[in-house]
Each structure stands twice: as structure tokens, then as C-alpha cells.
Structure 1
Amino acid sequence: MDPYELIEASLKFIENNVEEPLSLNDVAQYFNYSKFYYHRLFTAIMGIRFNDYVLSRRLNRAVKLIQMTDWNITTITNQLNFSTPSAFTRAFKKYYHLTPSELITKPTEIMTTDIPPLIRRPLKNINGDIVSNFSIIQLESFKVSGLVFQVDLAVDDYRLKITQHANQFLALLDPKLQSPGYVIFSECMPQSTTFNVIIGIDREFKLDLPYFFTVEVPDLLMASFNYTGNLLEMETVLQSDYARFLKITKQESGNADINMIQRFDNIHDLYQPYQLFVPIKANELDMELLA
């Protein structure tokens, strides 16, 4: 079975049996895989450990039960196979920042979620570790012209903000223009949650608009990954991929002002497969890994 078909089937199986006492071994055996390989594959593809994923889906089901039934905490605890009501309450509060009782007595808008979409990207096996496939490249300097704005990940609804600016920029372009598109994230200050973002194309031109700039991206040594899916829906996967890449290859994050570059082949289609570039420091392995 294709790895993505396996995990997709697993997600459906987990959802259909989330009220059962599921274990890693149970699911791995159901699909005839060793639990060690299955867990490595699940973590690599989903960007989250199996047990953490199952817990998140149990808690998602708990919200539905609270909103759609008059069951008490003990009944829900038993239904979802938590060991005790206090264990259920601790897990629920850690995940949703309020207790089940608070949700029951003072209904709050908590949106339940469907099974998450799979983020498809090439995988590779390095000494038994399954990671998102990557290459290390020397990115040559180039210029990007586009709209510049800021997002604060701690305050803004940055998904909405980035989407709005992307739509605004695309409305300025000739639909017949064929050009790669770029979304570039730069940290404003060290340890800050605020980022400068530019969405644009790789050519120099001018528009008489506020916050329209041309910036130069310097030469950078980058780790390159390939993805299919909405960048704004895959933070967990990206963080996991990058952390595993650094650990397995013994690379270090670069000190560039630019934190991440997203490149699309066509600026008019931001839902197509794309490349993601992250700066790294040079080390003795780089010459062997350069694509």
C-alpha cells in the first residue's frame, strides 16, 4: 500500500473507532505493519505522534458529545476511554484552555474539526528515519516585487491576513502574466512573533501603491522541500519536517534575516505544488548534499 494511502486509511479507521481503546499496536496490526515502522511513517507524514493524534481526535469527539448530548463528565469519560474524569478534564483543558464543565455550563464556541487533510510530499529513508525529502541548494540572489505587510502570529488571524493580501496582489496583475510567485517571511526582531511578509513575483517593476516594494533576496544556502497543500493548514507538519531534517542531517538553522521562502511555479495558482526554502548554516556535509 502506498504510504499516503496507508495513513489516509488509518485516519478513517481511527475516526471510526475513536471511542474504542485504540493503541498504536492495534492500528499497526490491523494494517499488517510493525508498530515501529508504522509509527515512524505516521509521525513523518502527519507531523505528530500517533498517541497525540488519537488524543486530539478523542477530545474533538468530546466536544461533539458535550454540544449534542446531555451526558455528564463521567459518562463522556467512560465513552471515550479516559482512565478517570480528572484525566479527561486535564487533557481537555490543556487542549482547549477550558474545562469540560465550563463548556457544559457556559457554552463557548468551539469548532469541531474534520479529519485533517494529508500533506503530500516526497519522503526519504535516512538510516531508518523517514523524513520529508529534501535537497540542499545555493540559492542565488534575485529581486521580488510585491506587497509588503506584517503579521503577528500571537495576535493576528494571520491566515486571513495573508490570504487577503495574496488576493489583493493577484488583482493587480495581468491574468495573462506568467511568472513564478513568492511568499517570503522575514523576522522583524529576534524572538519576536511579528514577521514581515512580501508576496510578489521575481522581477522588478513599480506600482504607485502604499506598501508596494522591490526587495533583493541575497545568496543563501537553503534546505529545499516540496509540498502539495495550503501552507496555512500545515504548520505542524512543516515544523516537524524541519526539526527532523535538522536532527538527522546535523544541520543548523541559518542566521539570515529571511526565515522562509515559498515558491510557486505560477503566481495565479497558489494551491499547486510548491517549493519551500529554509536557510541553513554551511557545514562539512553540504558539498555531498548539494543538489
Structure 2
Amino acid sequence: MEGLNRMANSIDFIENNVENELKIDQVATVACMSKFHYQRMFSMLTGVTVAEYIRRRRLTLAAQELTHANRKVIDVALKYGYETPESFSKAFRKIHGISPSAVRQNSQQLKAFPKLSFQIQLKGDVEMEYKIVEKDAFQVVGKGIRTSIVNGENHRQIPAFWDESNSNGFVEELEKDCGPMSIMGACMEFDATQEKLTYFICAEKNKQDIPSDWEEKKIPASTWAVFESVGAMPDAIPKTWDRIFSEWFPSTGYEHASGPELEVYSTEGDTTSEDYRCEIWIPIVKK
């Protein structure tokens, strides 16, 4: 509950400063989170990025001012952070479908994006089971892609990367000498500014020589929260991710430790079966 209260405080901060220059790290500080963790949490809870939410709120308020107040377009544009009427008009048209100057014409349809609020949804007896694991640092080897969390790009590119890696024999090669954690997908090398991350299909390093087109990366020692995901791939695991960020983090005394996140896949069982089981490992710290 405390986590949701802090998210609500961050929304109040955005509302109170929507006419000022807003930096996401300032908003994250209000929520007592790192910038990247706040962005992930916000996106999981709302379905939009922090930057997009701020943009929508500004353009909602701008439309109201243009409709009900005798304000020049340039004045409203500057008030809500746009340096030129052209940039303001482009953003305004993208949201509302009309130009700012057309707002005062009769019967114009506009869109309003209200202030967000957060609450915990009670979902009967659908509890989330987890365990806390301490693990030393270890090396992994594999291949990765660079992807973005903006507009759910990662949810499209990562399954496509798995399909390619399974079809070209790469995963099969990894399985031949994988460690006790089996095959993993690691989210790492987060770039909070550009909202990008590396997704690395890998296994624990068990031999010195690796193929020239593979990379080696280090997973640091961490305290991990481990969650089981049950269901057919690739649909089951995104649902577990959503519940971790929207339900587990807001209602527990833990927060993200900003290290790599792991998806741990068993080589046993049919990945298309509704009974297939895998795990999500997230580095945590106690608040």
C-alpha cells in the first residue's frame, strides 16, 4: 500500500508542476524510487510512459484553456513547454485531431486525459507466491538485442528474438552445456534516459572457449525475489511481469535493486503447454 501512496504522491507532484519544466528523475525522487524503476512501475501500472502521461495532461489542459479562455496559441504553447507554435500544433493535432486555432470553432470534439489515481485491486484468492534467494555473482554467455520499453516495443521484439534463436539453432547450442539455472533471458544494461535495455538469451558459462559470435556478461551478486510463471510461452510470462510490478512491488516492503532481471526457462516440458513452468528473478533491496 505504501508503494501506491508514493506513486499517488508523484502524480500530485506532476499535477502541481505541469506548467513547469519536469524531469522524470525529480518525479521518481518523490516516489522514492530510481528513475528507471519508477518508469517501469509507471508503465506497468498505467500502460503509458511517464513522458507520454505528462504530454497528454499538458495537451488536455491546453485544450481547455484555448476553449474557455481568450489566450493566444503562442502563449499557451509556451506555458506548456513548447518552444514554437509549430511544435505545439503538431503535438496538439496528434492528440486532438485538430489544430489549436480550430478549437474555438463550434462543436469541435476534443480528448481529455484525466489525472491518474492508483488503487490496489482485490483479486480473490489469486495470490502471488515468491521466494527470496541469495546468489553470488556469475558469468553468462549468449547473444543479445537492444530494445526499448516505449510503446511496448520490447514485448514485440523479444518474442521475435526467441523465435529466431530457436529456429537458427542458437538455443539448442546453449542447451548442450548450460549450467544449473538452465536457459535464461536477461534484461540488463538499462538506459533510463532513452528507456532502452539489452535482452540477452544466455546460459551460465561452463567452458572457457565460446563461439566468436557469442558474448560474455557478468550477473552481479544479488538478493533475488523469485516468481514462478505457469502457462504457455510466450503469453504467460508477460502476465507475470505485469503482476509483479502492478501488485507485488506496491504491496510489499521491497524495491528494485536496479540490476539485471532474469527469466529462467526449464529445458524440461513443452513450452506450449498450459502447465509449463519457468521463473522470473528480480534483484531487490528492503526499503
**Range class of TM-score, shorter chain:** 0.3 to 0.5
Normalized against structure 1, the TM-score is what?
0.45
Tell me the TM-score normalised to structure 2 length.
0.46
